[in-house]
Structure 1
Amino acid sequence: MRPNTVASLALVFITFLSTGNAQETDRRPRPAISFEQVLKREDADHDGKISQTEFKGPGRLFTRMDRNGDGQVTKQEFLARPNFKPSAVNMPDDVQMLRDVVFGQGGGRDLKMHIVMPKQAAKSPMPVYIWVHGGGWQGGTKEGGVGQLIPLARSGFVTATIEYRLTGEAAFPAQIEDCKCAIRYLRAHAEKYKIDKDRVAVGGSSAGGHLAALLGTSGGVAEFEGTGGWADQPSNVNAVVDLYGPTDILRFVTTPGFEGHNRDGSPESRLLGGGVVAENLDGIKRVNPITYVDQNDPPFLIIHGTADRTVPLNQSQRMHDALKSSKIDSTLHIIQGAGHGGPGFAEPKIREMQKSFLMRVLREPPMEQQESIAQP
């Protein structure tokens, strides 16, 4: 991108931040540059979207425009004013948020999470749900998960949205190591946060869905534990919500229409440490959640759209098939016409599906089991 284009995009960003609330949408100044112009200059794989790999403007600007954290900026996202401000999230009176809790170390620095939980002390230990953000393993932040955690916190969950090292900082397995560290931290502090160690669930979208699925199948895989802290705690989970996450990356990059992901510099290539993806068979096998599927894995809820142009539907189908082959409780829900995130996944019935799944799998233990739980 030429300097004047970057400047124009920066102006758009400033305009986004300075405009009013959603009711004033129709009165916003028009962007100084059209999305079509940006596509012409940036869209190397001609898929009608701008990935973080393709984007040559400021990284912070890309993150701000990428409203659903999927590592892609669509025309709708480009034209919409980013109206999410972490500090401005309205917490209900019965919910509290603990911001930037340090949960461990990764690459010699602190790793942080936001914890959203009921304000009133629970009578018994609560289940915990950990959200892993998307962004092609190279973008996104923990901030975007806060809003969707509030309903679960109001339903008696301790919830957390976590950060992990992105591929610009470290290649795989840094990402899964950090996620596992977060789980170990919460188990180590179960008494402090009133958590039931035996009711731990994870969820994520896109790259976060991949990591959530890998958390679900790699319990006990020592090479993924890392050295971030709380080594005395296990990192296994009891339920997984996987929203359109990649799994079998070799099948991914050879699916017609998705071959651009095979190139050196693609998000998948960066995850594997660089190079042409299909040439790194060992790396592909290592990052694939299906590699580690066995009969000890937890229940899965997998949701994917038929019109996803970022991650092919076969990724979720293969994950589901592998789980069912090992007789694991797995549900694959396919949303007709839905893309990579977007409105189809914001439908109340889809959100309720996820909540109902978690409530079912992590239901409160029987009374006789409750009585054996030591009270803090």
Structure 2
Amino acid sequence: MAAKLLTVTLMALLTPAIVVGQSMGDRFISRIAKDDVDGDGKLTKDEFTGPDRLFGQLDTDGDGVLVLKDAAASLAKIRSRMAGANANSSERDMDQSPREALRRRMQQRQMQGQRRARPEPDFANVRYGEHERHVFDVYLAETDSDEPAPCMIWIHGGGFRRGDKSEGALFANAFTEMGIHYVSINYRLSQHAIAPACFEDCTRALQTIRANAEKWNLDKTRIAMGGGSAGAGLSQWIAFHPDQADRQSDDPVSRESTRVSALILLNAQTSYDYRWIKEHIPGEAWKGDGLQQLFGYDIDRANEISDEKHQLIEAYSPIELLTADDPPIRMFYRRSSDPAIAEANAMDGIHHPIFGFELKKKADRLGVDCEVQTVESTRDMMAYNRRWDVAVDFLKEQFAGDER
């Protein structure tokens, strides 16, 4: 009862201020309510099962205790500031050099007195196309070296119908502090244009980033991609697809490669084919509205779906494209591998680790390095909440290999 009342209270506090990542806020509220086992409205660091980085951001007075209603309000303020920073980005951001941008960021941190403060992009709303959502944010690596640094590209989730690149700012520091540039991209949602629009958008964004590598001191030979849910699928599709560079194009961006060094995936679907999902995932995840809107079909009239539509769905289902020369993969799921949870809840089904395990089966046959991490215990949840440390270590290994 206490947890339920706490959730209602926190939702009331957050509702006016949340401008992006509504589903992420819901998950945060639900999680911290569950952490408060004794129902006193407070959490110590030992009780908090989230990442240390987030606890530090929300513990504004530094006393080692989160008052939950204050933590919820702090989270709302952080999101509001991030949305405002993106909306008010200036031409100065586009004109400054990487070294000037990094210096400005470090000065801001010194003024704030917070090493772990959520960063603003060094280059905000960089355009890669004509649509309003054809933009990405660049966060520069913190390094004293003049050598080009590797890059991690993040694609947000949201069922192809919602979400924003600002969500990626939550963990930008995990990469930039370790010498890895970080880019978070937007793409057209399915209400703007159905598939293959979003896949083409993310491909173009990657090529645009490579085309500007010298401007941002980025090593275009060491680029990784990743994302959560829908973003994970978009990342896979690009990584598993043959190189889409058009070497004969008059457009220099189109001549850039689309191959990447590694993949970091959260709660990923590995197929978007409702027939495949129905066969492999218990429950009714295969009926998902998001997939119907993405590809433009009505599941209640499945017998009328054309062969051409089925071919399109297959062509944009990542698992169909995996080959032996594809990059290594790390997959993290915030769910148990128990198939029963998929049958009980379609949302758990569409994010179930079975997707990952099926990809791993094929990867193992092909000799592609693929690991899947699930949450079966409290200890596993703590490991999941420290996934960025694991991801960064993994990327550094891959990037070191690419240097050789």
TM-score, length of structure 2 as denominator length:
0.65
More strand by share: 1
2:188 aligned with 1:161: no
Q: 1:200, 1:238 within 8 Å by CA — same for their partners in 2?
A: yes
Q: 1:219, 1:237 within 8 Å by CA — same for their partners in 2?
A: no
Instruction: State the shift of 1:192 in Å.
Output: 0.9
Q: For residues 285 and 370 of structure 2, what CA distance do their matches in structure 1 show?
A: 30
Q: 2:143, 2:179 within 8 Å by CA — same for their partners in 1?
A: no
Q: For residues 299 and 247 of structure 1, what CA distance do their matches in structure 2 show?
A: 15
Q: What code does the residue aligned with 2:317 have?
A: N
Instruction: State the shift of 1:119 in Å.
Output: 5.2
Q: Which residue of 1 aligns with 2:394?
A: 357
- In structure 2, relative to structure 1, the CA distance for the partners of 1:364 and 1:103 (3 Å cut) is farther
Instruction: State the shift of 1:221 in Å.
Output: 4.8
Q: Which residue of 1 aligns with 2:224?
A: 201
Instruction: State the shift of 1:281 in Å.
Output: 2.9
Q: 2:285, 2:350 within 8 Å by CA — same for their partners in 1?
A: no
- In structure 1, the gaps of 5 or more residues are 1-10, 20-59, 370-376
Q: For residues 140 and 343 of structure 1, what CA distance do their matches in structure 2 show?
A: 24
Q: 2:155, 2:234 within 8 Å by CA — same for their partners in 1?
A: yes
Q: For residues 245 and 167 of structure 2, what CA distance do their matches in structure 1 show?
A: 30
Q: What code does the residue aligned with 1:312 have?
A: H
Instruction: State the shift of 1:356 in Å.
Output: 1.2
CA deviation profile, 1:295-339 (whole Å, cap 9, x unmatched): 22111111223254442222111111222221112122222159x
More helix by share: 2
Q: Which residue of 2 aligns with 1:87?
A: 81
Counterpart of 1:105 in 2: which secondary structure?
coil
Q: For residues 351 and 195 of structure 2, what CA distance do their matches in structure 1 show?
A: 19
Q: Which residue of 2 aligns with 1:133?
A: 156
Instruction: State the shift of 1:116 in Å.
Output: 0.8
Q: Which residue of 1 aligns with 2:125?
A: 101
Counterpart of 1:159 in 2: which secondary structure?
strand
Q: Which residue of 2 aligns with 1:243?
A: 266
2:165 aligned with 1:114: no
Q: 1:113, 1:161 within 8 Å by CA — same for their partners in 2?
A: yes
CA deviation profile, 1:38-93 (whole Å, cap 9, x unmatched): xxxxxxxxxxxxxxxxxxxxxx87x553126xxx8797289965524263599745
Deviates more, 1:324-333 or 1:201-210: 324-333
Counterpart mapping for 1:269-308 below 5 A: 269-276=292-299, 279=305, 280-304=309-333, 305-306=335-336, 308=348
Counterpart of 2:367 in 1: which secondary structure?
coil
Q: For residues 251 and 286 of structure 2, what CA distance do their matches in structure 1 show?
A: 31
Instruction: State the shift of 1:217 in Å.
Output: 0.2
Q: What code does the residue aligned with 2:14 have?
A: F
- In structure 2, relative to structure 1, the CA distance for the partners of 1:184 and 1:77 (3 Å cut) is same
TM-score, length of structure 1 as denominator length:
0.70
2:345 aligned with 1:321: no
- In structure 2, the gaps of 5 or more residues are 1-8, 34-71, 86-104, 342-347
Q: For residues 260 and 364 of structure 1, what CA distance do their matches in structure 2 show?
A: 39
Instruction: State the shift of 1:170 in Å.
Output: 0.8
Q: For residues 168 and 220 of structure 1, what CA distance do their matches in structure 2 show?
A: 28
Q: Which residue of 2 aligns with 1:190?
A: 213
- In structure 2, relative to structure 1, the CA distance for the partners of 1:198 and 1:322 (3 Å cut) is same
Instruction: State the shift of 1:253 in Å.
Output: 3.7
Q: 1:104, 1:229 within 8 Å by CA — same for their partners in 2?
A: no
Deviates more, 1:322-331 or 1:228-237: 228-237
- In structure 2, relative to structure 1, the CA distance for the partners of 1:149 and 1:167 (3 Å cut) is same
- In structure 2, relative to structure 1, the CA distance for the partners of 1:315 and 1:110 (3 Å cut) is closer
- In structure 2, relative to structure 1, the CA distance for the partners of 1:113 and 1:343 (3 Å cut) is farther
Q: 2:284, 2:349 within 8 Å by CA — same for their partners in 1?
A: no
- In structure 2, relative to structure 1, the CA distance for the partners of 1:99 and 1:337 (3 Å cut) is farther
CA deviation profile, 1:165-188 (whole Å, cap 9, x unmatched): 111101111111111111111111
2:385 aligned with 1:347: yes
The percentage of counterpart residues that share the same residue type is 19
Q: Which residue of 2 aligns with 1:67?
A: 24
User: Could you tell me which of 240, 252, 255 is aligned with 2:277?
Assistant: 252
Q: Which residue of 1 aligns with 2:54?
A: none
Instruction: State the shift of 1:256 in Å.
Output: 5.8
Deviates more, 1:173-182 or 1:79-88: 79-88
Q: 1:210, 1:247 within 8 Å by CA — same for their partners in 2?
A: yes
Q: What code does the residue aligned with 1:85 have?
A: R
User: Could you tell me which of 372, 375, 382 is aligned with 1:335?
Assistant: 375
Instruction: State the shift of 1:121 in Å.
Output: 5.2
How many residue pairs are counted as aligned between the two chains? 304
Q: For residues 156 and 23 of structure 2, what CA distance do their matches in structure 1 show?
A: 12
CA deviation profile, 1:220-249 (whole Å, cap 9, x unmatched): 2579xx999811211111110111211223
